[in-house]
Amino acid sequence: MNEVARIGTHVKGLDERLEGGIPVGFTVLISGPSGSLKSSLAFNMIYHSSKDQGLKSLYLSVEQSRESLLKQATSLGYSMEGMNDLNIVDLANLRQEAGGTGRENWFTSLKDILIRYVEEFDCQILVIDSLDALYALSNLENPRNEIFNFFEVLRGMNLTTFIVSEMPREGSSFGKYGVEEFLSDGIIHLRLREIEVGKTTSVRRYIGVAKMRSTKHDLDYYPLLVDKSGFEILVD
Ligand SMILES: Nc1ncnc2c1ncn2[C@@H]1O[C@H](COP(=O)(O)OP(=O)(O)OP(=O)(O)O)[C@@H](O)[C@H]1O
Ligand SMILES: [Mg+2]
């Protein structure tokens, strides 16, 4: 029996294919193209971890405003009533917290801000949405080196971290600089694929676990469904 403590993905059908979920303390990429449900999946994980497992979390929304993220969550049927352990911080909050000129290297200043927030909220789970938004805000002189250091800081914080990473629809690299995938302990890959339905072309969402250290899992991609009752994979 595997004794590692795990955090559920809370995607129906997926956790049992992951020995129960993601090992506590892991840094996991959620990679996929725009609209593949990266943010919603990350939100779903911390929402249920908080509601069902009593874990405290911080969602760092660099791309979307707090308001827009909450709007999307409401549209997907999540009620925020009593969810006091789920903290959302957006770029406007970050800028205020940084108190700088706006020209600083975000990647560097974020580390200190993150440590402060994590202490303040006493949280066990962190979501960074997205890595690419941080890249866009930073002037990385030596990206591979700075990313390496950033992951080191995350590892040192004793958290389970989900990092959202944008990738092109047909891309094969899970992060912009290629180092993200081997620095992370796990990769959840969201894909969009076009299929022909009669005369119409439609796009379907798929989810696969491309990597999860310390975990026996398959490498299959499953259709991913989401509605007001939650996330679910379709299994034959
Ligand atoms: N109530 C809903 N039920 C089902 N799907 C919804 C609902 N509301 C929004 N969606 C879907 O969620 C998608 C957006 O999901 P999400 O923001 O999680 O994707 P993302 O991968 O984070 O995208 P981006 O890269 O643009 O941030 C929308 O394109 C829409 O198809
Ligand atoms: Mg998103």
pLDDT per residue over 129-184, tens digit each? 999 999 998 888 999 999 999 999 999 999 999 999 999 999 999 999 999 999 99
Domain count, the chain: 1
Ligand 1: nearest atom to the Cα of 166 = 25
Give distance in angstroms: CA of 116 to centre of ligand 1.
Answer: 30
Domain membership flag for residue 16 = no
Q: Is residue 61 part of a domain?
A: yes
pTM: 0.95
pLDDT at residue number 107: 76
Is the pLDDT at 103 greater than 80, yes or no? no
Q: Is 164 part of any domain?
A: yes
CATH number at residue 108: 3.40.50.300
What are the residues facing 186 on neighbouring strands?
28, 212
Q: Which residue has the higher pLDDT, 105 or 223?
A: 223
Indicate whether 69 belongs to any domain.
Answer: yes
Ligand at minimal distance from the CA of 226 is 1
| pLDDT value of residue 97 | 82
Is 224 part of a structural domain of the chain?
no
Average pLDDT, the chain: 93
CA 48–ligand 2 middle distance (angstroms): 18
Asked whether residue 217 is domain-assigned, the answer is no
Domain assignment of residue 82, given as a range: 27-190
* CA 121 to ligand 2 center in whole angstroms: 23
Cα separation, 228 vs 154, whole angstroms: 33
Residue with the smallest CA separation from ligand 1 atom 25 is 34
Q: Please list all protein residues whose beta carbon sits less than 5 angstroms from ligand 2, which is an ion.
A: 39
Q: Which of 59, 63, 70, 72 is the pocket-test mutation for ligand 1 (most atoms within 8 Å of CB)? A: 72
Residues enclosing ligand 1, CB less than 6 A? 32, 34-40, 63, 72, 75-76, 166, 226-227
Residue 20: both structure tokens together:
């129960």
Confidence category of residue 106, pLDDT binned at 50, 70, 90:
confident
Query: Would you state the pLDDT for residue 175?
Result: 97
Is residue 72 a part of any domain in this protein? yes
CB atoms within 10 A of CB 194: 9
116 vs 130: CA distance, rounded Å:
19
Q: How far is the CA of 125 from the centre of ligand 1 (A)?
A: 22
Residue 10 falls inside a structural domain: no
Axis-axis angle for helices 91-98, 106-121 (nearest 10):
100
Q: How high is the pLDDT of residue 1?
A: 44
What is the whole-number distance in angstroms between the Cα of residue 38 and the centre of ligand 2?
5
Query: Which residue type does 80 have?
Result: M
Tokens found for residue 46: 């911390």
The reported pLDDT for the residue numbered 108 is 76
